[in-house]
């Protein structure tokens, strides 16, 4: 894992309207930051977006990343549908025979989509895939889903809405280098003071992060936490991050064990995303 001081140079300029950053502590092992949804995120910044990097193609094989996102979303849809059908089968309120046949078909589709998603991940992001395979505690399947949700970890592709009602159209803005802060925020581990509340606007909700990316990084962190080296598998380096910070949170006044656990797990998530971002930056033309 790499400290911020060892990370590749980043573009710390402001972000476009729909991809914002929240400042963090650059001296900390990890920081806090905001979000960019498929439809965009409200945010700040007083500088225009910067291009992906010197000598690079702004599209960055855009078709491949779109394909990965499509497979990840279709896999999630098939998985959700299969779970819903399982629940209906257990309810026994309908004839289970034709439902079981339909369920088997959905399972087949889910499996095929999962395989296609992983193959696409290997092809589109070979450097990220190699890092995942080499790092104990990380899994190809869950990372394919995470990267499918966020796109290229080091490049933001913001959008904004124009028009109203039935004439409302989603417009793509120029892509630009995404800072580590923005990646943290997009994955829901940005500003911890942001909370979901009743009556919040769409832009405010977007600043809480991409829900699917937030779910996937949580699953990834929990998997790394369990790989503690006691079950015959190599210990995950991110379990070390958890063990390092957990005692600090346990001694905070008024904090419950659950609160301390979640805070230490959050530090894990940010370290995983930091390393993902660094690997992604190194794969960019001109940043090697």
User: What is residue 103's predicted lDDT score, i.e. its pLDDT?
Assistant: 84
pLDDT 10s digits, 14-44: 333 333 333 333 333 333 333 343 333 333 3
Name, in order, each residue with C-beta under 8 angstroms of 260's C-beta and a sequence gap of 6 or more: 246, 249, 250, 252
Spatial separation of the C-alpha atoms in residues 79 and 96, rounded to whole Å: 19
User: What is residue 101's predicted lDDT score, i.e. its pLDDT?
Assistant: 83
Give the position of tokens 């399982």. 86
Residue 169: in which H helix or E strand, if any?
strand 169-172
- Residue 119, token pair as written in the block: 């193959």
Q: Using alpha carbons, list the distances in angstroms from residue 210 to 39, 60, 151, 214.
A: 10, 22, 11, 6
Residue 6: in which H helix or E strand, if any?
none
Q: Which spans in the chain are helix H?
A: 62-91, 96-124, 126-134, 140-150, 180-186, 202-206, 211-226, 237-250, 257-282
DSSP-derived 3-state class of residue 162: strand
User: What is residue 50's predicted lDDT score, i.e. its pLDDT?
Assistant: 41
pLDDT 10s digits, 268-286: 999 999 999 999 999 887 6
239: number of Cβ within 10 Å: 19
Spatial separation of the C-alpha atoms in residues 249 and 187, rounded to whole Å: 22
Spatial separation of the C-alpha atoms in residues 74 and 96, rounded to whole Å: 25
- Residue 44, token pair as written in the block: 């700040």
| Residues paired with 171 in a beta bridge | 160
pLDDT 10s digits, 118-154: 999 999 999 999 999 999 999 999 999 999 999 999 9
194: number of Cβ within 10 Å: 19
134: number of Cβ within 10 Å: 8
Check residue 199 and give left, alpha or beta (phi > 0: left; psi -120 to 50: alpha).
Answer: left
- Residue 160, token pair as written in the block: 């904004």
Spatial separation of the C-alpha atoms in residues 143 and 267, rounded to whole Å: 18
pLDDT 10s digits, 194-249: 666 676 665 666 566 789 999 999 999 999 999 999 888 899 999 999 999 999 99
| Residues paired with 176 in a beta bridge | 156
Q: Give the mean pLDDT of the chain.
A: 78
Name, in order, each residue with C-beta under 8 angstroms of 8's C-beta and a sequence gap of 6 or more: 278, 281, 282, 287
Name, in order, each residue with C-beta under 8 angstroms of 178's C-beta and a sequence gap of 6 or more: 19, 36, 152, 153, 154, 155, 156, 186, 277
pLDDT 10s digits, 152-211: 999 988 878 888 888 889 888 888 899 999 999 999 997 666 666 676 665 666 566 789
Spatial separation of the C-alpha atoms in residues 245 and 247, rounded to whole Å: 6
């Amino acid at each position: 894992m790499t400290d911020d001081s060892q990370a590749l140079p980043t573009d710390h300029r402001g972000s476009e309207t729909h991809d914002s950053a929240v400042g963090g502590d650059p001296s900390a092992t990890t920081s806090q930051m905001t979000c960019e949804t498929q439809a965009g995120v409200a945010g700040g910044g007083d500088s225009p977006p910067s291009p992906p990097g010197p000598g690079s193609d702004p599209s960055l094989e855009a078709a491949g990343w779109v394909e990965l996102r499509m497979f990840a979303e279709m896999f999630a849809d098939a998985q959700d549908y299969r779970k819903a059908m399982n629940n209906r089968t257990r309810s026994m309120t309908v004839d289970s025979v034709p439902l079981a046949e339909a369920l088997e078909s959905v399972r087949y589709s889910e499996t095929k989509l999962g395989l296609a998603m992983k193959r696409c991940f290997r092809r589109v992001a070979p450097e990220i895939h190699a890092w995942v395979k080499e790092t104990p505690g990380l899994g190809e399947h869950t990372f394919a889903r995470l990267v499918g949700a966020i796109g290229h970890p080091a490049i933001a592709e913001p959008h904004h809405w124009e028009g109203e009602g039935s004439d409302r159209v989603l417009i793509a803005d120029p892509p630009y280098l995404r800072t580590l802060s923005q990646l943290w925020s997009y994955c829901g581990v940005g500003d911890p003071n942001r909370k979901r509340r009743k009556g919040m606007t769409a832009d405010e909700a977007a600043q809480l992060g991409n829900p699917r990316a937030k779910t996937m990084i949580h699953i990834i962190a929990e998997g790394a936490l369990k790989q503690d080296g006691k079950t015959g598998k190599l210990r995950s380096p991110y379990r070390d991050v958890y063990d390092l910070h957990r005692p600090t949170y346990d001694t905070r006044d008024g904090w419950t064990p659950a609160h301390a656990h979640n805070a230490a797990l959050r530090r894990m998530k940010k370290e995983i995303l930091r390393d993902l971002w660094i690997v992604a930056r190194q794969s960019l033309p001109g940043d090697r």
